[in-house]
Structures are given as C-alpha cells and as structure tokens.
Amino acid sequence: MFFELISGKQYPSSGHINRSTDSLLVESKDDGLYDDLTVQGYLKFFKNIADFRDPLEEYIATFSLSDVWKTKIKKLTKDQRKRVSLYRMFLFTPEVVLIEDPFNDLTDEGIELYLKSLEQLRTNNIATLFTSNYTEDLLLLSNEVYRYHRLTGLEKTDLAEETDGDTRKNDESESNQPKNVFKVTCKLEDKTIFFSPDEIDFIESINSVSNIRIDDEYFPTDLTMNELENKLSKFGFFRCHRSYLVNLQRVSELISYSKNSYTLILKGNPSAKLPLSRNRLEEMKQLIEF
C-alpha cells in the first residue's frame, strides 16, 4: 500500500502526495521473473526496453552473476534472483527505486552480495527507499530510518546519537563486582514487569525509548541506553551500536558484509541481525577474547 501510494497507483483516502519525479521503479517482495529465460536473455530483453547503451557484460561481476549468466532463472537461488532483479532496475536508471523487504529469505552471503550490488545504483545517483519489518536490516541499508505508527504515520527513528558525556565504561570509583540483585523494570499499563539480565536478548533504542527484546517481544523501559549500559555491563552486555545493547551470551556469529559493515547474529534467532559499529569491534574482541 505504501509504495502504491508513492508511485501513484493508489490515491490516499485523505490529503495528497507530492512527487517531484515520475522516474521511479517499485519492487515487491512477491514480484516474479521470467523463469524460462536465462539470466542473459532476461536482462537483454529489458536492456532493449530501457534503451540501455552499455554492454550487459560490463556489469556481470558488479552484480555477482558471472557463474549463472547463461542459467535459466527458474534454477536460480533466492539470493541470485534478487540480484537479477536489482540489475534489471539499474538498466532503467530511474531517479528512485522502492524495494520491499530486500533481505527476505536471503542467506548471509546473499545479503553481502546484495549490498555490494546496491552500490552500483548509488554510484549512479539512484535514490533507494526500502521497507522491512526489522530495524536491523534497515540499518545495514541506510543511516536514515523511519517507523510507521498507525496513529501518527511516519516518524524518523532516533538512532540514539552519542554525546561527549556518554561513557561506555564504568566510573573508576565504581566497583567491578557484579551486584547480587538487579532487574530491569518495564511498565505496561497497570503492571510493572521485572526482567533478569540473563532473560534479555538485546536492548534497542527506538525514538529515544529503550526497548527490551526477549524472544520476539519488545518491552519499553524508562531507563536510558547509557543507564542500562552502566548497569548491565557487569552482566555481559555490550554497546555494539549507538542504538543497541546486546547480551554477549546470546551472540553466536559475527558476519562482515563489507569492509566497514559488521553484524551480530543471536543464538536461536537468526532473523535478529544487530549492527556492530566498526569502532567497537576491537573492544568486543578484547571482551570475548577472539
């Protein structure tokens, strides 16, 4: 619905949408390809429609399609199909592309190659807009993230920018010994819920509100990210990103999608991909000794 409103295929029930360009393409996560064509034949077909002048072969490596260039699309993996679709949109050199849930069902290698391919669009000044159910995915794709709220519409997500007063280590006067009892409190309507540190997977800052993540549920707390970091660092929590505090006992993998992009995968929840800031990598290595 969101992309249909932006592209003009549907009209809003109230108000209006101003578009500064009609040069845009939309990719839905359910969009299909021509399965009986080879990758080469499929892209050649759209090259002619788009009147794209450069040889297709010039960008085969850019989109990591060399090994499947003459393979029929129906034999491709989901990872490969997504890159073929991205190449097709590139041929039209639109001003804007709208892509729904780009990492849906992709492998870790597929995400890495997709991000590499995406750079070709950005190098050619093609603006990209993505939607996803996971903030972690969007942080891999952009530095600007918006959330949709049913009552208030789109709101820009506060990524908890750090200030000079922020600290990642306890004050020297504080004891490094763990306290006997500490629980994170979350208030829900007329109830107050208490969570032990070992119950928590990670904590995410959303619009300046710290949200406790346990399995697939979020619980807001009044404590700030800095307060939580100071209290939970003794229990094995680590500030992996300005908007994320992760329980290191839950971390199962560290993945590098590109030279400057790192992601943490959690045990039992491979869909939760937490960004790891490059300047935090060395600190994390020292903490868990790898």
Residues 267-288: pLDDT tens digits?
877 778 899 998 889 899 888 8
Contacting residues for 93 by C-beta, under 8 A, at least 6 apart: 50, 52, 124, 126
Give which of 272, 274, 251 is closest to 261, Cα–Cα. 274
Q: What gap in Å lies between CA 140 and CA 151, rounded to an integer?
A: 27
Within 13 Å and on the Cβ side, how many CA atoms surround 191? 5
Question: How many CB atoms are located within 10 Å of the residue 130 CB?
Answer: 19
* Rounded average pLDDT per 10-residue block, the chain, 290 residues: 70 74 86 94 97 96 96 97 97 94 92 95 94 84 78 64 45 48 80 85 92 88 94 93 93 85 85 87 86
User: For 21, phi and psi rounded to 5 degrees?
Assistant: -150, 150
CATH entry, 2-131, from 3.40.50.300, 1.20.140.10, 3.20.20.450, 3.30.750.24? 3.40.50.300
Angle between helices 78-91 and 108-123 (to 10 degrees): 10
**Ranges of each domain in the chain:** 2-131, 184-288
CATH entry, 184-288, from 3.30.2230.10, 2.40.50.1020, 3.40.50.720, 3.30.360.10? 2.40.50.1020
